[in-house]
Amino acid sequence: MPKFSRQDHLTRLHSIALKLEPDFKKLKIKNIGDLLWHFPNRYEDLSQIKKISELKENELISLKVKIDSLKSYRSWRKKIFITQLSASDSSGKIQASWFGQKFISQTLKIGDEIYLSGKAQKKGNIWTFTSPNYEKVKYNPLHSARLVPIYPLSGQISQKQLRFLMDRALQLTPPLADRLPAEIIKAENFPDINSSLQEIHFPQNEEKLASATARLKFQELFYLQCKYQLAKKQYQSLPSYSLSLNQELLNKILQQLPFVLTLDQQKALYDILADIRQNKPMNRLLEGDVGSGKTIVAFLAAFNTVSLGHQATLMAPTEILARQHFDNTLKILPAKFRREIALYTRSQILSGQNKKLSKKEINEKIKNRKINFVIGTHSLIQEAVAFDKLALVIIDEQHRFGVRQRKALKEKNLNKKVPHLLSMTATPIPRTLALTLYGDLDISLIKTKPAGRQKIKTFLVPEEKRVAAYDFLRQKIQTGGQAFVICPLIEDSDKLGLKSVKKEYKKLNQTVFPDLEIRMLHGKLKAQEKEKIMTDFKAGKFPILVASSVVEVGVDIPQASLMLIESAERFGLSQLHQFRGRIGRNNQESFCLLFTSDNSQLNKERLKALVKNDDGFELAQIDLELRGSGEIFGHKQSGLIKLKIARLTDLELIKKAQNWAKKVLANKKYLEQDNFQKIIRQLKQEMHLE
């Protein structure tokens, strides 16, 4: 008979939960229900029950034996409590001993049938176990003779206590009503929720464990996808601007560009223009590897918007990048629009005619629709900027911004209308993964890079070849090349022996290339200094730039063809690929040299992947498999989704979950089911809280 409800406090389960309460809190387990959703992170296979006659040295097995004798005593010298027993099955005898565990002699007695699990050693003629798992034989053993769950723990909690409490929770709570629509369970051949929970904790066999795991993972992903679909529906029910196509303007600009758009760029542009024609807000992610040419696509959409008398804004993660976008806009956009453009960053507010503006002036002009395309940084959301008719928001390198920052920009309109949103990212996310991360977005993909780009030749250089590498750089510089040297730190720190911008700068300047002009760039410099350095580097005024990760995103220096990355182990593969994307942007042969002091296998494997592989999407996938999602997307992104059991690498299940979510939410038959309605209510509540 069920004795407890899932809402009951954990301490009601058993008195041992009382003293462990603070430790359970750390695991976010307060009530019995929380406990049931605390899943093992692995299992120890003790399911093989052997006869004593079959024992092999150091093999992990279980035995089913009867206790023949049992004694406890204190060791003579160290006064440690020792429990010793001998036991037998029909095929032989064994001995087992435990140290310092007095209670064993109180729980076991002669004649008891027990399971023993562990590894045996042969001492003389006798098989002995030291501190094996033991458990009285009963219908459903928890710690031995089975696939034994191993849980994430905290503080004083032991595996045994956790299993004991879990077993009680499973036995003594009423069965759950299955909320997953019955059609899904049937079609996917999933076990029901109650046996899934039983099996995930105490599996009968590998097979049942696998289907329970699949069901619970699916469920988690399915709810997540439902949430995305609901959010999308809600978002699309808000009013936005319908922006028609200014074919004439776009043609004019396209004709003047020094290149033609690639097919993927054209497709992406078409997707966007089709979206913004509708009066429901676009929410589209433009995904493309570094250098694939996302910017021009976004610009064209922005120019189209501005030419119709509406407003657009572009937010970039760094001042350097904002400035670059601003300069490029001025180059491409017909002169008559120049008055309508402005740059808005913390340290620089400029009109399209290159005039300095005060905050007050620019805010006025934006409100009065004198300025209609504002390019800027975080400042755009921090300051009191308010638009009169903001129809398009573009976020460059969106993975560098948090959800709140993106949202804040969307709410910059004085009226109630919601602007169209275009996010761009060069963190190349495998498409199915994008579905999990951004399931509520539409996605345009720029896969092919502009023609003529060469593969960047990448090398992992051993320390003993450093001198040769510098010689190589020198050679290339003598024939007009320019080089980035990237370091993970700005200042030297004692930590970890990582290279810093300042120290490398000093070394290169004083001893390696005393005859060459070297400058440094990092986030602590003033915006004007940074900008001057970038402009000079772009103009080819000096050959070597030592930089921190500020050059990671976006910056475009077409003639730089050399890059040397120090302490490469400190960066994720996607990030390294981004760095590397700074060079090789025109048609000359480009080289990227990687140095690392971390000789671990994992690191080597990662860096070799970078050497071999040129495709940002594949690199992201490799990084994901080698290092997990948090490393790729940084905390801002990985914090977005907290998955309990599913993994971002469960691609098949993710697809399945998305298909079902779409199908179910579009169909009254499902929507009207009681259980499912409960879920929708719950998901909506969660959305509201987020």
What residues line the site for Mg ion (CB under 5 A)?
A: 554
- Rounded least distance, CB 562 to Mg ion, Å: 21
Q: Rounded to whole angstroms, how far apart are CA atoms 305 and 317? A: 22
CB atoms within 10 A of CB 490: 19
Dihedral angle over CA of 636, 637, 643, 647, nearest 10: -140
- Rounded least distance, CB 586 to ligand ADP, Å: 8
- Rounded least distance, CB 247 to ligand ADP, Å: 19
Measured from the CB atom, the residue of 68 and 556 that comes closer to ligand ADP is 556
What ranges in 240-312 are assigned the alpha helix state H?
Answer: 247-256, 263-276, 294-307
Q: Among Mg ion, ligand ADP, none, what binds residue 325 when CB lies within 5 to 8 Å by partner kind?
A: none
DSSP code, position 511: I
Q: Rounded to whole angstroms, how far apart are CA atoms 486 and 566? A: 6
Q: Among Mg ion, ligand ADP, none, what binds residue 580 when CB lies within 5 to 8 Å by partner kind?
A: none
- Rounded least distance, CB 495 to ligand ADP, Å: 32
Q: Where are the beta strands (DSSP E) in 549-670?
A: 562-565, 591-594
- Rounded least distance, CB 424 to Mg ion, Å: 6
- The answer to whether 534 and 555 have CB atoms below 8 angstroms apart is yes
DSSP code, position 336: G
Measured from the CB atom, the residue of 446 and 501 that comes closer to ligand ADP is 446
Q: Among ligand ADP, Mg ion, none, what binds residue 196 when CB lies within 5 to 8 Å by partner kind?
A: none
Distances (CA, A) of 294 to 473, 540, 587: 31, 25, 19
Measured from the CB atom, the residue of 266 and 432 that comes closer to ligand ADP is 266
CB atoms within 10 A of CB 406: 16
- Rounded least distance, CB 572 to Mg ion, Å: 18
- Which amino acid makes up residue 550? V
- Nearest-CB residue for ligand ADP: 293
Task: Please give the helix or strand (H or E) that residue 612 lies within, else none.
Answer: helix 601-612
Measured from the CB atom, the residue of 212 and 290 that comes closer to Mg ion is 290
Measured from the CB atom, the residue of 554 and 572 that comes closer to Mg ion is 554
- Rounded least distance, CB 554 to ligand ADP, Å: 6
- Rounded least distance, CB 574 to Mg ion, Å: 14
Measured from the CB atom, the residue of 292 and 405 that comes closer to Mg ion is 292
Distances (CA, A) of 558 to 196, 200, 324, 581: 56, 55, 13, 10
Measured from the CB atom, the residue of 286 and 490 that comes closer to ligand ADP is 286
DSSP code, position 10: G
- Nearest-CB residue for Mg ion: 554
Here the tokens at position 417 are 């209308």
Measured from the CB atom, the residue of 224 and 321 that comes closer to ligand ADP is 321
- The answer to whether 343 and 349 have CB atoms below 8 angstroms apart is yes
Residue with tokens 């400035």: 323
Residues near ligand ADP (CB under 6 A) are 259, 261-262, 265, 288, 290-296, 426, 450, 554, 556, 558, 585
